[in-house]
Structure 1
C-alpha cells in the first residue's frame, strides 16, 4: 500500500470531485482514478460511489478514511522527524495571527520553530478569525490561528485551549447589568464587531437562542478600540475574559457575572496538506509550546 494512493483517497474524499483533487495534487484525473482503483483492489473494498455529481464515499470508505488520514500523518511525522534531525525542512510558512501575540503564545512559538527548524521562512500576517480561515481555505496562508468552532470540511484544527468571552459594560452601568438576563442585556446599546470576528459569531448564537437581536450602535474592529468605547460609557460588548480583567483593573469597566462563554482557540490548515513537512513541524512546535496548558492537543485531522 503506497502513501500516494492514500493521499489520492483522502483528497478525493475531501473535495468530492476528481477535478478539484487533480488541481490540489497536481496529478491527472486518470492517475488519481488509478490510485483509488489500486487501493480498492488491495483492500478488497469499494471506497467510492461514482455519481454524476462527483465521488461519494461508501459506508466502508467513511470508516476507512480516518485510518488513511492517520497513516499519512504517521508517515509525515516520521519524515518530519528524520528531516528535523538533519535540519532539512526548508520552505515558507505563511502563518495567520489573531488577537494579541501573548494570548496565542506567538513569541514562544516563533522561538521554538527558529531553534528547531532554522530553514523555515516564517511570514506572519495579522487578521480577524474568519478572514484568516478563508485565506487558509484559499491557500493564501498555510495555517492560521482561529477563535471559534471549526466546521469547514476542508480544514483540520489543532486545538490549543479555550478562551472565554464575558460581557463588558461601562462601570457606571454596574447596577443596571448586575442582575440582568440576556434579554435585558441585548436591549442595551452594543458595540458591533466585524462580520468575520469570533465575537460576531458568538453573539449571533446568543441572539438566536433568545430570539432577539442586540441594539448595536457603533462598530469597532480592534479590541483596544472596544475597550475605550465601553470605558467611555457608550455601549457594552463581548470581550475576552483575560483582556476584560485587565480593563477592569485599569478602571471604568465592569463585567457581567451571568455567563462565561467558552470559545476554542486552534490553528487550522488544509486537511489535504496533512503530510506537508512544514505544517507537521508547526504542529510539533505547537504541542511543545502549549503542552503545559492542561488542554488536549487534537488530532490534526479533527474539526
Structure 2
C-alpha cells in the first residue's frame, strides 16, 4: 500500500471489483462447458490450451467464483458454473445481436427525401414507388409534395426539393435528367361547349374561351406552338397553373385547354378533340452534384425499377 499526498493509492494487482469481464472470457467459458475438455475447447476457438486455461482463470478471479472442477476426465461445471452458463449464453447472443444490427446499419439508409410532383399520382406511379422505397429502405422518410414543373425546378435548384417530376425539355447543366416517358397531349373540351365547337379548325377553336396554363408549363408551350403555327390567338379566360385545377375548369365549362391524353376518358363533363399535338417528355430531375448521394441513388433505383428503365449509372456503362 502506498500513500500519494492525501490520497491512498493501491499498488499491485487489481481486485476482482477492478477487473473487467471480457466477451472472449465468456466465449471460452461456454466452449469449455460444452466441450468439457480444454483441448477440444482450444481447437474449437482456434487457440492454445494455455490461453483457454488463462481465460477461465481470469474469469473466475473476476467473478470471484469457481466455474469448473478439474477431473481426470476433463472439465466439469460446478453448481455455480451451471447456474451462470445460461446467462453467459444470453450475454454472447446479445453481443452478437448488437454486432449484426450495427452491421446492418452500415448499409441501411436513414434520412428523408422530398420529391416534387407535377401531375396525378396514378400517372406518376407513386404507389409503386412508395412501396418499393418502404420495402428496401424502411427508415427512409419520404415526402411527396404537390407542385408543378414551373415550381419544382427552382425548388430543386435551391434545395427545397431533393428531386422532382417535370414535363418538357430541360436545358440546365446543373440538373441530371432521367427520361421516363412521352406524354401525348390533347385539347380537352367541356361537354357544355360542344354546340359551339363547329369544327376542329384551329382558327375556329381560337375564338372559343381557353383556360391557360402558366408560361413555365410545357402545356403552355404546346398551345403557343399550335396557335402561332396558324397565326391566331386564343381567347384567354383564366390561368390555372395546377393540372388538377386546369382539368376541373375544363370540366366545369370554363373553356378549352391542353391536357394529357386520357385525362377525360369515360368523363361525362369533358372530352378530347381530334387535333394532333406533339407529345412532351415526362422526366425526373435532381442536381447533378448529388448523383452519388445515397438518398438520390436509392430513389433513382426504385424509380427506374417502377418505370422499367435502366438506372443512369447502368445506362452510362452500357453506352460506354
Tell me if TM exceeds 0.5. yes
Which residue number corresponds to residue 242 of structure 1? 262
Which residue number corresponds to residue 92 of structure 2? none
Match status 1:197 vs 2:217: yes
Q: Is the 8 A contact 2:198 2:204 kept in 1?
A: no
Shift of 1:85: 10
- Cα offsets for 1:51-94 (capped at 9, x unmatched): xxxxxxxxxxxxxxxxxxxxxxxxxxxxxxxx999642333212
Q: 2:270 aligns with which of 238, 242, 253?
A: 253
Q: Is the 8 A contact 1:84 1:117 kept in 2?
A: no
Which residue number corresponds to residue 286 of structure 1? 303
What secondary structure sits across from 1:288 in the alignment? Answer: helix
- Cα offsets for 1:119-146 (capped at 9, x unmatched): 3222222111111011111222110011
- Cα offsets for 1:19-46 (capped at 9, x unmatched): xxxxxxxxxxxxxxxxxxxxxxxxxxxx
- Cα offsets for 1:121-176 (capped at 9, x unmatched): 22222111111011111222110011111222211111111222110112254465
Q: Is the 8 A contact 2:301 2:311 kept in 1?
A: no
Q: Which has the higher contact order (CA 8 A, sep 6+)?
A: 1
What secondary structure sits across from 2:184 in the alignment? Answer: strand
Normalising by structure 2, we get a TM-score of 0.59
What secondary structure sits across from 1:244 in the alignment? Answer: coil
Q: 1:140 aligns with which of 153, 160, 165?
A: 160
Match status 1:276 vs 2:296: no
Which residue number corresponds to residue 124 of structure 1? 144
Which residue number corresponds to residue 220 of structure 1? 240
Structure 2: runs of 5+ lacking an equivalent:
1-102
What secondary structure sits across from 2:262 in the alignment? Answer: helix
Aligned-residue CA RMSD in angstroms? 2.7
Q: How many residues align?
A: 213
Distance change >3 Å, CA 176–CA 111, structure 1 → 2: same
Q: Is the 8 A contact 1:87 1:119 kept in 2?
A: no
Q: 1:262 aligns with which of 274, 279, 283?
A: 279
